[in-house]
Each structure stands twice: as structure tokens, then as C-alpha cells.
Amino acid sequence: MPRLGSFNGFIPPYILSRIIDHGGEHQRSHALGTLSHVRSLLHNPGPPGVRQAPLGELERTDDERAQRSIYDAKQGMHLPGTLVRKEGQAAVGDIAVDEAYDYLGATFDFFWHVLGRNSIDNRGLPLVGTVHYGQQYQNAFWNGEQMVFGDGDGEIFNRFTIALDVIAHELVHGVTESEAGLVYVNQSGALNESVSDVFGVLVKQYSLKQTADQADWLIGEGLLTDKINGRALRSMAEPGTAYDDPLLGKDPQPGHMRDFIETREDNGGVHLNSGIPNRAFYLAATAIGGYAWEGVGRVWYDTLCDSRLTNDADFSAFARLTVLNASHRFGAEARETQAISDAWGGVGVYLT
């Protein structure tokens, strides 16, 4: 298995840049500190300070339960921090600690019970999280070995443990690196982001026992404070509608290839153009109906684990494999297969 080693942060750099350009002094200061840290990690993967043991040295287990350890950075940036809650221990009363513990467990349970996957690496990798990272740090990230959560600034962002799908999203970057290694740039990078959104929202829907029609299809709901005009960071149903705020601007995600964004920023638009495959998944899930994790979710997982998926795959290549995997799972003429094919056409991604 390849080492799970790249940095993926939940808040896109362009949002932090927008805060720096348009926020108040306090807001600019914390956004600048977060963005500078994000850029340092992108150029030098791996945060500073003492880190926990490399993946190969962590004790794995064949147990059907998550093996969780939650640490407190105490507003520092030294990882992993002080151990505050281990697997099986009772809640400690710190909401960030307890949310991280619960939501790491919910993500593990989804992958185990729905997909038969034993943790991120499918070999029982213990799940490690550090909360209270940095001074009002405005992000959450997977660093290749563990989850890290900032507290937000309380003005724009709430604590980053508040949303189950945010935690699941970041953990799924580890699954993607383990299985497909999708290069984090351009369309393959947008697919990398989209896969995390897909399984992040499926973990939330599974936890709430929501059908595709009942779900809100929002990513990061609750993360924005009530001072910001926005419902979430992204909408899979309607990319480009998650927020529209004087400080953050308008959600820039496209939902169709005719609006595809060509840019050198954001690693070639990985957080932007991910709206296109996101909407394709939503269209397929709602066309099929029922619980999305039982139908189209399994097809997306089959595709992520498919040896034919190259690490530089573009949208069309990924789309073709989803249809092939749907045909294998449901049959070439099945309504599920047709719904997935139609969904890609509905966002301007064609299989030829």
C-alpha cells in the first residue's frame, strides 16, 4: 500500500485569500496565519513538530471496532499533543474532543458495515485526531497519518469538529490515497476532492438514515457561523449556491462542464471543479432513489478500488468506469446503470 502522505485541507485557499482581502483586522490575521501554514504544508508535506509513529509502526487490529485516540494540541501546533481520550473511554466533556471521537467512529462504522472496509487502509489503521490546533486555526486536515482540527475564529467559522461530513471528507482522502492515489491537481485532483465529498455526505446520510430524497446534500453544514450568509461550504445538489456573503463572496463552484474553470490557483481548481462530479453523483442518487450508499455509493467505491482507475484520471475516464462497474454490479440494462450514465451526461461529461 502506498504511504498516505499528502496534505489536504478542508477550507480552500481561495476562501482564506478572500478573507484576507475583505475581512477585518482580526479575521485577516487568523486567515493569513492559516493560509501561510497551509502553503507551508503543501510545499513541505507534514506539519512541524513531533509526530506520532509512521503508519507502518502503528499497531493495527482485525477488530470490527474503531481504534481511536484523541489528542489536545492546546492551541499549539505540536503534533499529536496530549492524549485526552482513548478507545472505550467515556466522554470527557470537551465538545471538540467528544465530537472528534464520535465522528471518527461513525466514519469507521460506515466503511466497515456498508463497504466491508477495515479503516482507512483496510488493515485496521488506528484513527488519530488532534483538536484545538493552533490559535483560532481556520481549517481541518488529514496529514497522511492523522486528523487535525482547528477551532475556527468564531466569527466566520465554528469549530471544525462540528460537522460529521467534514471529518469523514478528510478521512476519505486517506482512503483515496490508499486505493487510487489520484494526483491532487486539475481533473484528477477535483475527482479526489469529489470522492471525499461523496463519501462524506454518505457517512452523514447513513448516520441519519436518510434516503437520497430526504438528504440536504450539503457539505460542511454548521461550519459557517450565523454571521455569514451561507448554508454550508458546498452543495452537491446545486453547486454554486452554498453561500453568498459580502465577506466570502459567492460560492464559485460550477455544476456543468460548460462552466469548467481553467485556473492555476487551487491546484488547478480542485475545490472548484469538484462540483461537476459532485452533481453527477447527486443526479444518479436521486434518480435511483432509496439509500444512496446502497446503490450509486457502492459503484463509486468499486470505481475508486478499480485497478483500471489511473492516478491521473480525468472526469470522462472516471465516468466510464462508474458505468462499467454499475453494469458489473447491477447489469448493463439495469436502471441504476442507466441513471449513472444519464447523470454524467447531465453535467456535460460524456463517455465516448
Domains of the chain: 8-179 (3.10.170.10), 186-346 (1.10.390.10)
**Whole-angstrom Cα distance, residue 9 to residue 108?**
20
Catalytic residue among 30, 37, 173, 271: 271
Question: What values do phi and psi take at 140, rounded to 5?
Answer: -135, 145
Burial class (CB in 10 A: 0-12, 13-18, 19+), 282: buried
Residue given cell 497519518 in the structure block: 145
pTM: 0.91
Catalytic residue among 145, 170, 193, 336: 170
For the chain, 352 residues long, give each residue's pLDDT as a single digit of tens: 333 334 568 888 889 889 999 988 888 888 888 877 766 665 444 333 333 333 334 444 555 788 999 999 999 999 999 999 999 999 999 999 999 999 999 999 999 999 999 999 999 999 999 999 999 999 999 988 899 999 999 999 999 999 999 999 999 999 999 999 999 999 999 999 999 999 999 999 999 999 999 999 999 999 999 999 999 999 999 999 999 999 999 999 999 999 999 999 899 999 999 999 999 999 999 999 999 999 999 999 999 999 999 999 999 999 999 999 999 999 999 999 999 999 999 999 998 7
* Nearest by Cα to 287 from 240, 332, 344, 325: 344
Question: What values do phi and psi take at 82, rounded to 5?
Answer: -95, 125
Please, where are the H alpha helices in the chain?
13-22, 25-43, 95-115, 164-179, 186-208, 266-269, 275-288, 296-304, 315-330, 335-346
**Whole-angstrom Cα distance, residue 153 to residue 100?**
18
**Residue 271 a catalytic site member:** yes
**Residue 87 a catalytic site member:** no
Helices (H) and strands (E) in the chain, counts: 10, 10
**Whole-angstrom Cα distance, residue 149 to residue 137?**
8
